[in-house]
Chain A
């Protein structure tokens, strides 16, 4: 048992650190949930891609470096420690790309992945519907067979990034007569500017259009936009859901950087005699370290030939709740400044605590609510009987 890095891994870390030091914008970019910020973040993706840092874990042919999971974790640690911008391509890179690697065709990979890696095409997810949230398999949007493709109709919602993104991916009911809700679904990609698609941005809690409703009215998509077999969409999508909750969606690096900033804030701002706030800062530091180590253990397990299944639900609950607690502590330390919105001129640290707090509040909701995750933990890891949700 060890926690040692190889010389090659140390060199990789140093290379990433040097590149980031030379390229990370000096001033933070505007929020990526605004039109201006989205464009700036898209440019940043292009900068990353130019030196093959946008998708380090992908094969070289698609713009990556073929990095191992551990190297990816190292990159992420350096990335967030350098204060680099949020990743506007997150949905595509971490949700769609793993599905394409596993279920896509060579043609799809060659057509889609390089443009995703460069930020030329930015993807939104289109899972939820007004009547289908946690019970996703009850979804009602349809894909009807047409000559050379499919016609999509229905309504999607809570579609992250869709206000400004180029394309989206989601599940559609292609066989209404299939026996069970999760059968007869098809995984389809579609352009957000196609005829028949209406995008209505939705303001999240702080008013920024971080997600959108999508109305699809007889939207034609050709066959090459279907991933996997028609009717097998649930199985195809679930491999993505596992990725989302598992190692790749929120790497420890982002929380390590936040914990370092929190500690610095505490040292600068806090009354040393206030042990209540000190305990909360300590718990954030401990939680982040635990998450880093837990992830190293998972990476070791995968490297040793194992796999991560329902265990990824432990991860998701842990980081999402840690993230909120960490940001709440920071806002409390800021006192009256904790009230300021991230776009206030006088918001501390360019509003990053306020923005981070708002972002953290969504964590227990997206990628499978924490209630669903706890059901998964109880049933699949502890072996408790299924019951009513």
Chain B
């Protein structure tokens, strides 16, 4: 056992971190929120060059193969820099198209996703199983090149979108996908959608981890610099202990993400439960980081002007994307084999024996 990222994976993270640091992502995020996707798509192309999207595309479609651990490493960095756009949804769409088992749509879209030419969105209109996340909204559907809409055992390619429904995170542009043509129909659609949802939940968990780490780092820096009563506020125990709790939450979420990615890569039957555990832990840790960042920055943290707000607001939104906290917790305790929630045996219930 060597449950540590290897040198190559760490180097990949460093490369992305360096590239995104230099890219001034806050300006890109603000432009994206205002509807100007040009800087965002330029950044998208650069991310594609590093192989981020190819990690979800098999080699026969110009990808690098499905590499969940590397994907988790990449999405942690995307989250650290609050990268805007349907990054998670594009990866989910790639997994969906590959799993569909139909060569034509895979050949039509996967090479473009791998190369960064295609930004896709995907939404599940109805739950395929008690645990599968669903939402009437597709992320960034107004600007995506392809929007896949799964409703039960049918998938269609949306034609247009309804009016924008502003999210708590303005960089997340939500709308209802409308109309379109049926792309495929059958049980394989629901099965592929379940795989896509798992990939999306794992990527979201990794994104949340990076988001939380960035919120913690920015807040620690602020607590060292901001002085009150003649000393740095970071010397006060009430401040220290909140920050310590954020670090604890993040440090214990990280191995859940890596183990879930390993399980997904191995096709382990417990991967769904492990992903759910990682999703709820990472998103709750990021949310704790956001609440702490807000509180410790004081009134400054409550402003939209401060770039910190880009991270704070995304932390809230990610809790609901691709699996609410309650759905994730239910899944953790659910049956591994059939994906259905546990049905208690009434005979063993208290009261049955008087």
Which A residues have a C-beta under 8 Å from some C-beta of B? 1-5, 9, 70, 263, 266-270, 272, 275, 278-279, 281-283, 285-287, 289-291, 293-294, 296-297, 299-301, 303-304, 314, 317-318, 335, 371, 373-375, 377-379, 381-389
A1 and B9 contact, Cβ closer than 8 Å, known pairs A272-B342, A378-B241: yes
Return chain B residues, CB-CB under 8 Å to A281.
Answer: 333
- B270-302 contacts to A, CB under 8 A, are 274, 277, 280-281
Does B237 belong to the interface (CB within 8 Å)?
Answer: yes
Contact of B224 (CB < 8 Å), options: A285, A287, A383: A383
For residue A297, which residues in chain B have a CB less than 8 angstroms away from its CB?
3-4, 255
Of A267, A279, A296, the contact of B342 (CB 8 Å cutoff):
A267
Do A3 and B231 form a contact, CB below 8 Å, given A278-B333, A279-B329, A382-B244?
no
Beta-carbon contacts of B245-266 to A below 8 Å, as 1s and 0s?
A: 1011001110110110010000
Q: A296 and B1: CB pair below 8 A? A: yes
Knowing A272-B343, A377-B247, A385-B224, the reply to whether A1 touches B234 (Cβ < 8 A) is: no
- From known contacts A314-B247, A371-B237, A387-B237, infer whether A283 and B252 are also in contact, taking CB-CB under 8 Å: no
List the A side residues contacting B350 at CB < 8 Å: 268-269, 335
Residues of B within 8 A of A275 (CB): 326, 330
Q: How far is the CB of B215 from chain A (nearest CB, A)?
A: 13
Further 18 A-B residue pairs, CB within 8 A, beyond A279-B329, A384-B223: A2-B3, A266-B333, A267-B342, A267-B344, A268-B349, A272-B344, A279-B326, A286-B281, A289-B256, A297-B3, A303-B2, A304-B2, A373-B244, A374-B245, A375-B240, A382-B244, A384-B232, A384-B235
B262 touches A1 (CB 8 A): yes
Chain A's interface: helix, strand, loop or mixed, by majority? helix
Contacts of A374 in B (CB 8 A): 237, 240-241, 244-245
Which residues of B sit under 8 angstroms from A377, Cβ to Cβ? Answer: 240, 244, 247-248
- Interface, chain B (partner A; CB < 8 A): 1-6, 9, 69, 216, 220, 223-224, 231-232, 234-237, 239-241, 243-245, 247-248, 251-253, 255-256, 258-259, 262, 274, 277, 280-281, 325-326, 328-330, 332-333, 341-345, 348-350
With both beta carbons as reference points, the residue of chain A lying nearest to B341 in the complex is identified as A272
Given A278-B333, A282-B329, A297-B3, residue A318 in contact with residue B255 (CB < 8 A) = no
Chain B residues whose CB sits within 8 angstroms of the CB of A318 once the complex forms: 248, 252
Q: Smallest CB–CB gap between B281 and chain A, Å?
A: 6
What A residues does B329 contact at CB under 8 A?
278-279, 282-283, 286
Q: Are B6 and A263 in contact (CB under 8 A)?
A: no
Given contacts A282-B333, A335-B350, A385-B235, contact A378 B240 (CB under 8 A): yes
Contact B248 A314 (CB under 8 A): yes
- 25 contacts across the A-B interface (CB closer than 8 A): A267-B342, A267-B344, A272-B342, A272-B343, A275-B330, A279-B325, A279-B329, A282-B328, A285-B277, A286-B277, A286-B280, A289-B277, A293-B255, A293-B256, A294-B255, A296-B255, A297-B4, A300-B2, A318-B248, A371-B241, A375-B237, A378-B244, A379-B240, A385-B231, A389-B237
